[in-house]
Chains A and B, each alone.
Chain A
Amino acid sequence: MAATFLHDGGRGCCRLLLQAGQPGQGVRRLLHAPAPWRTANCRHATGSLPWESVVGLEIHAQINSVSKLFSSSQVKFAAPPNSTVSFLDASLPGTLPTINRRCVEAAVMTGLALNCTINKKSLFDRKHYFYADLPAGYQITQQRLPIAVNGILTYRYQVGASWNEMATKCVRVKQVQLEQDSGKSLHDDAMHQTLIDLNRAGIALMEIVMEPDMTCGEEAAAAVRELQLILQTLATSHANMSEGQMRVDANISVHHPGEPYGVRTEVKNINSARFLAKAIDYEIKRQKEILDIGGTILNETRAFDYKLGVTIPMRDKEGKQDYRFMPEPNLPPLILYDTNSLPANMKADQVINIDLIKEKLPELPSVTRERLVEQYGILPEHSFTLVNEDGLQEYFEAVVKLSNVDPKKIIGWVIKDLLGHLRQQNLTIKQSMVTPSSLAELLTLLEKRVISSSAAKQVSAVQQGNLKVMNKLIGLVQKTTKGRADPVLVKTILEEKVLL
């Protein structure tokens, strides 16, 4: 194709929240405490008059399902254009939506993990706007009565220069709603046309709306990372920002303490946590500078240019948007049940029991971290690394089980040596050539003083494919045997021993 296709027309919106350790009761406790989300401000330099900044987030997370929200066409990343499109996705006349049970369950599970109240009755609405990748001219969403409301997300983030200075903060989750994604537009500037791929049209999204309880980019990024971990733990979304499975819009405003919130701007479609922090901090700085010289902030939508590190106005919206919301006439209300309200005469596959989903909730990341610290006596910052790195926690726990070595010693080997080497070679823990059992064996040998710490490090390095270190090991053998061994034979034996 003789064109440059760069800009993804994704205009979906999501919002996020953070979760407390104990679902349900945590919410009430926090609401009665002096609101923690109103306290501590980020480290922002203040001008003559101090400014306070507030940040709210809307996060769209793609639901991890096999088929779409209202049609049974496939959800597949990078499929050939328009190959996973049904007649409903293309809005052909006469088609009707049928909801995907899995998507409803995923939204309920996510709502529960974010300490939300699950609405036993929720409604669907049409949100209208014209865009070439939205063939129906409207998106089915939940505007009047979403599936989950009033949650809370607890997150920790680094306040000082070191990992030891962590602060715990909460952000209220306004709601979780189910909605459809739009298709994708590829803008071909050279040919002056737009190419439309409807593969994404109709894929299920959860829009998670977080109240403006954050005060800076770092906080928002930490909240988003925690949400991402929760979604991945629940397997309700892959939440991979670079593949667009999670898209974040941030609402930002500044005001003087004690005064009402200022006019806010919205920064759209940020696709990494790092850029989110940068975009928010830039926008706060920009707004302060304008207000300091007596200017006014426009209520506008802006985009983040990651190359220049600045936000720029987006032209596509003129004035106030009017989405002409109306109830979706083709979908009756979505009714959920709990164990006490189960209906008598309904087929089991037509009933969703909230209590059953609650029972199936896996251990959430915050709980896992606390358990790791308590159970193994490791540092809190190490528990973050273990949980954040996919598969690392399982790896660590396997090594602990297979050896009699103090977990506090193992953690250093796993995080510093193993993970350090893997990162250098751009590998993930699952691609590691050192199995938990061989690391356990190595550390047991070290513990019994059979081998020295430096020898252990070299063996570990060789096992990870660093063959240059092999010569050092051969040197060690030659030293021990006072040069009486045949170097070629030593090499063969070592290769067998170390690499297998």
Chain B
Amino acid sequence: MMVARILTSQPKNQIGMWVQKAVTRCWRRAEVRRLLSSQSKVPQSPTWSIDADADPQEGGVSAEVIDHLERLALVDFRNQEGVERLARAIQFASQLHNVNTEGVQPLASVLEDRALYMRGDSVADGKCTELILANAKTVVEEYFVAPPGNIPLPPHQENLSQQ
């Protein structure tokens, strides 16, 4: 209603005139947008929805799976709450399995139809050892220092019995 009043009133001064012009412009743009979207191929409301009950991954996550995931991701789920949160996340993501993708080419990136830019083979980087090593907690000579072997995780048996 505010818009209608501004548009129909006589502007009292120059500022009033600017306001009127700006509002007119906005209003026209909104109208155009509304017109376009009514002709869009994208449906205005969902045409189908997934069946929330048809969940393929029923219930909790086994201790073996937790152990496997912790090893792959080097993440410690710590306690029952963490495990439950994981189960809910899996359940949420699993809904995707209910979508029918038959005959649809997978789309990994919206840039798929762009050309991959190629660089010439010349040296223009590196020689910044100090900067690179500035991120390290421990340095020996010009080396990063890491724990021996891979990241320590408790052995399988121990890890499983804890859970």
Contact = CB atoms under 8 A, between A and B. Distances in A.
B118 A196 contact: no
B119 A98 contact: yes
A89 B112 CA distance: 24
B148 interface: yes
B74 A130 contact: yes
B146 A71 contact: no
A467 interface: no
Contact of A99 (B114, B116, B129, B133): B116
A19 interface: no
Given A65-B121, A332-B109, A349-B120, A82 B114 contact: no
Interface stretch (A187-195, A212-220, A400-408, A420-428): A187-195
Contacts of B129: 80-83, 85
B148 A194 contact: yes
B115 A83 contact: no
B148 A101 contact: no
Contacts of B120: 100-102, 349
Given A101-B121, A332-B116, A86 B141 contact: no
A99 B118 CA distance: 5
B146 A194 contact: yes
B125 A73 contact: yes
Contacts of A114: none
B126 A197 contact: no
Contacts of A123: 108
Contacts of B48: none
B62 to A, nearest CB: 15
B111 interface: yes
Q: Which of B109, B115, B125 has the most CB of A within 10 A?
A: B125
Nearest to A89: B126
A327 B108 contact: yes
Interface string A80-118: 111111111110100000111111100000000000000
Given A85-B128, A86-B125, A316 B150 contact: yes
A81 B123 contact: no
Contacts of A99: 116-119
Given A1-B141, A82-B133, A192-B148, A332 B125 contact: no
B122 interface: yes
Interface in B126-163: 126-129, 132-133, 135, 140-151, 156
Interface centre among A131, A185, A195 (most CB of B within 10 A): A195
A412 interface: no
Contacts of A198: 132, 144
B124 interface: yes
A346 interface: yes
B39 to A, nearest CB: 31
A350 B115 contact: yes
A331 interface: yes
A334 interface: yes
B26 interface: no
Contacts of B146: 132, 185, 193-196
Nearest to A195: B143
A67 interface: yes
A31 interface: no
A100 B120 CA distance: 6
Interface residues of A, number: 59
A82 B123 contact: no
Nearest to B133: A82
B122 A90 contact: no
B4 interface: no
Given A193-B147, A194-B147, A333-B112, A67 B123 contact: yes
B112 A101 contact: no
Interface string A46-88: 0000000000000000000111000111100000111111111
Nearest to B143: A195
A322 B142 CA distance: 33
B151 A130 contact: yes
A65 B118 CA distance: 14
Nearest to A191: B140
Interface in B24-81: 68, 71-72, 74
Interface in A221-275: none
Interface in A100-148: 100-104, 123, 128, 130-132
A186 B143 contact: yes
A340 to B, nearest CB: 18
A119 to B, nearest CB: 13
Contacts of A74: 123, 126
B36 to A, nearest CB: 29
B97 to A, nearest CB: 17
A307 interface: no
Nearest to A1: B141
A324 interface: yes
Contacts of A498: none
Interface of A: 1, 65-67, 71-74, 80-90, 92, 98-104, 123, 128, 130-132, 185-189, 192-198, 316, 318, 322, 324, 327, 329, 331-335, 346, 349-350, 352
6 contacts: A85-B128, A132-B146, A192-B148, A197-B143, A198-B144, A327-B109
Given A82-B129, A196-B146, A197-B143, 17 more contacts: A81-B129, A85-B126, A99-B119, A100-B119, A101-B120, A102-B120, A128-B72, A132-B147, A192-B148, A196-B144, A327-B108, A332-B114, A333-B112, A335-B115, A346-B115, A349-B118, A350-B118
